[in-house]
Amino acid sequence: MAERTPVLTIDGPGGAGKGTISSLIAERLGWHLLDSGALYRLTAQAAVKHGVALDDETRVAALAKSLDVAFPVERGVPQTLLEGEEVTRLIRTEAAGERASQVAALTLVRDALLSRQRDFCRAPGLVADGRDMGTVVFPEAPLKIFLTASAEERARRRYQQLRENGVDASLSSLLQEIQARDARDTQRSVAPLKPADDAITLDTTRLSIPEVVDRLTELLVQRGMAHGT
């Protein structure tokens, strides 16, 4: 981690609001943003594209190490490119999330992506969103947050999001998928999903996005990592 560069890590299970909240805080502070989940989704998509089995640890890790990705902004809209192909929507499907969870359980894949994630730490600061940002990637970060919410609420949020995008979905199926992913992420042998020992846990089940953003901004100001806005 770059010396004196402030880092805020935001870990937690899928659907807790990490992505939205991390983006809003990074935008508010003018900091860089690391969406670590995107790197795992892209690795899994690269495996699918090249016909590599998701449990072939050596070959998937080789793809992760040489991953050709870019995150350009077109007309104010963030894009995700994999080997020059626009895959922003493709890697945000439920199926892509399931594949990402599978490759994230592979030790060699996590090792291959570790230095790439740390390279995102640049002045004036970094908001790192993921599942092991505070425990593995940035263990010396001065402020670590663990966002959570009930599985039922996270499934409801995802269901609402899909419906708003015109995608048919089953709430009960989404709940089952979230519970299965939680079990896989928390029980894996490498970098399991859990709060860092010094993390602040925040349950977002009954909180709005603006309330969470304001609360985390207050904590950053209290730690001297940001100025009041």
- The CATH superfamily holding the domain 7-221 is P-loop containing nucleotide triphosphate hydrolases (3.40.50.300)
12 is in an annotated binding site: yes
CA neighbor of 116 nearest in space, from 66, 79, 49: 66
166 is in an annotated binding site: no
14 is in an annotated binding site: yes
134 is in an annotated binding site: no
Q: What is the pLDDT of residue 3?
A: 52
**pLDDT digit string (tens) for 153-203?**
999 999 998 888 788 889 999 999 999 989 988 998 888 999 999 999 999
- Domain-wise residue ranges, the chain: 7-221
Q: What is the pLDDT of residue 228?
A: 63
15 is in an annotated binding site: yes
What's the pTM? 0.87
Looking at per-residue pLDDT, the higher value among 71 and 10 belongs to: 10
Asked if 143 and 219 touch (Cβ cutoff 8 Å), the reply is: yes
Average pLDDT, the chain: 91
Looking at per-residue pLDDT, the higher value among 74 and 184 belongs to: 184
For the segment 54-71, the average pLDDT, to the nearest whole number, is 94
Rounded CA separation 12/118 (Å): 19
